[in-house]
Amino acid sequence: MKDLTQDTTRDTTQDTTHGELHSELAGTFDTTAMATETTLLNPRFYTTDFDEMDRIDVTPVRAEWDALLAQMKSDPNKGHFKKTEAWDKVDWDGMDPALRTEFIDFLVSSCTAEFSGCVLYKEMKRRGTNADICELFNYMARDEARHAGFINDALREAGVAVNLGFLTKAKKYTYFRPKFIYYATYLSEKIGYARYITIYRHLEAHPEQRFHPIFKWFREWCNDEFSHGEAFALLMRTDPKLTTSFTNRLWIKFFLVAVYSTMWVRDHARKDFHAALGVDIDWYDQEVYRKTSAIAKQVFPMEIDIDHKAWIPNLNRMNAAMIDMEKGKRKGGLSGRVAHATASARAMLAFARLYLIPVIRSTPPANVRLEPTY
Ligand SMILES: [Fe+2]
Ligand SMILES: [Fe+2]
């Protein structure tokens, strides 16, 4: 029976890949295939050592923990993720095709990222026995399910919703040790907050560039991400070694550089999308890093020096190398493989240069908790 199930999964995956090719030819989108694909840049699904996470004792941060959990329990965004009269009619057919492609790519990638959180948090809740941990992950899974569902509603209007049930089964899961989950997830929650609020504030000042109603929902939305980030900050505070030991500092720097540079490459692939919003991508990314770094000082003993003269040039080198890697992959054959290998060496070199930029050291405050202020 087991083999049969595996075969079915494999067959469906092949169908999807085939369907993806077909829809590229037909000019439509197989968003489920886009979301399922595992690349360096696509949002991933994670799994971890759930038993180790279940053993966390939140006693050292009890007061802050209880306050945060009470706020999550009160569920301030309970009624937020519903279409209201503020949801203007979207003219998908009249949208410029290049913008439509990039916007759908943006929505699929955001939906996958939200759903990735949902799957991980739900699994932790399901496997856990620790009441504090289970309660937290239950609230966070609730929020991420709403977020993913709301984006998927927007995709459904364009006739291209992601099959989330299929995704859970077909997507590859990346294993991360719990401490890496903390660094990566903490950062992705805080970056999520910074990205959503920066777009929201920009469109508040330039409403004529709001080409889709979903952006109107970003302010309350990003407060959920902010609280999720707060929870991971508290989890990290339960064990000071996680943010103070020499090795862990190197890992934190690694995750900061990896997450920031991935965002740079991903955003620079969406020129028409950002042009439609009237957002300069370099400005936007730097602004998001600035906000994220200011927030992350609550728990990380450093920030990346994004004003260093080597920062942007090496992000651009990395972006160019990633574009060439993709070209090599598409070309195929021996010359394609050589081109891919050369470009990937260039990407690694650019990453090493980014990593070697000295950090700005800081001392996290005694109290972790912050409020969203942007
Ligand atoms: Fe979310
Ligand atoms: Fe979140």
DSSP per residue, 53-111: HHT---GGGHHHHHHHHHHHHT-TTTTTSS--TTSPPP-TTTS-HHHHHHHHHHHHHHH
Domain annotation covers residue 235:
yes
Compute the distance from residue 120 Cα to the ligand 2 centre, in Å. Answer: 11
Q: How far is the CA of 211 from the centre of ligand 2 (A)?
A: 24
Q: Are residues 56 and 238 in contact, defined by beta-carbon separation less than 8 angstroms?
A: yes
72 within domain boundaries? yes
Average pLDDT, the chain: 90
* Token pair belonging to 78: 């309970």
User: Residue 62 is encoded by which pair of tokens?
Assistant: 């009890």
From 65, 171, 59, 64, select the one nearest 111 (Cα to Cα).
Answer: 171
Q: Are 342 and 327 in contact (CB under 8 A)?
A: no
pLDDT in tens, 194-210: 999 999 999 999 999 99
Q: Is residue 317 part of a domain?
A: no
218 CA → ligand 2 middle, Å: 13
DSSP codes of every residue in 266-316: HHHT-HHHHHHHT--HHHHHHHHHHHHHHHHTTT-SEE--TTSTTHHHHHH
Domain that holds residue 193: 2-308
pLDDT of 22 above 70? no
Tens-place pLDDT, residues 92-124? 999 999 999 999 999 999 999 999 999 999 999
Q: Which residues of 182-214 are buried (b: 16+ CB within 10 A; e: fewer)?
A: bbbbbbbbbbbbbbbbbbbebbeeeeeebbbeb
For ligand 2, an ion, list residues with CB under 5 A: 189, 225, 228
Query: Which of the four pLDDT bands, split at 50, 70 and 90, describes residue 6?
Result: very low
Q: Is residue 95 part of a domain?
A: yes
Q: How close is the Cα of 66 to the center of ligand 2, in Å?
A: 19
The structure tokens listed for 296 are 């992350």
Which pLDDT tens digit goes with each residue over 220-236?
999 999 999 999 999 99
Do the strands 360-361 and 302-303 form a parallel or antiparallel pair, or are they unpaired? Answer: antiparallel
- Cα atoms found within 13 Å of the Cα of residue 315, Cβ hemisphere only: 24
Report the CATH number that the domain containing residue 85 is assigned in CATH. Answer: 1.10.620.20
Cα 225 to middle of ligand 1, angstroms: 6
- Rounded to the nearest angstrom, the distance between the alpha carbon of 331 and the centre of ligand 1 is 36
Residue 283 domain-assigned (yes or no)? yes
Q: Model pTM?
A: 0.89
> Per the domain annotation, does 349 fall within a domain?
no
Both tokens assigned to 200: 């929201």
What is the Cα Rg of the chain in Å?
A: 21
CA of 143 to the centre of ligand 1 (A): 6
Q: Quick one: which H or E segment has residue 47?
A: strand 45-47
DSSP SS3 for 185: helix
pLDDT tens digits, one per residue of 296-308: 999 999 999 999 9
Q: What percent of the chain has pLDDT over 70?
A: 92
Whether 319 has a pLDDT exceeding 90, the answer reads yes
Residue 124 included in any domain: yes
Coil, strand or helix at 38: coil
How many domains would you assign to the chain?
A: 1
In this prediction, residue 28 has a pLDDT band, given cuts at 50, 70 and 90, of low
The answer to whether residue 339 sits within a structural domain is: no
Distance from C-alpha of 9 to C-alpha of 368, rounded to nearest angstrom: 44
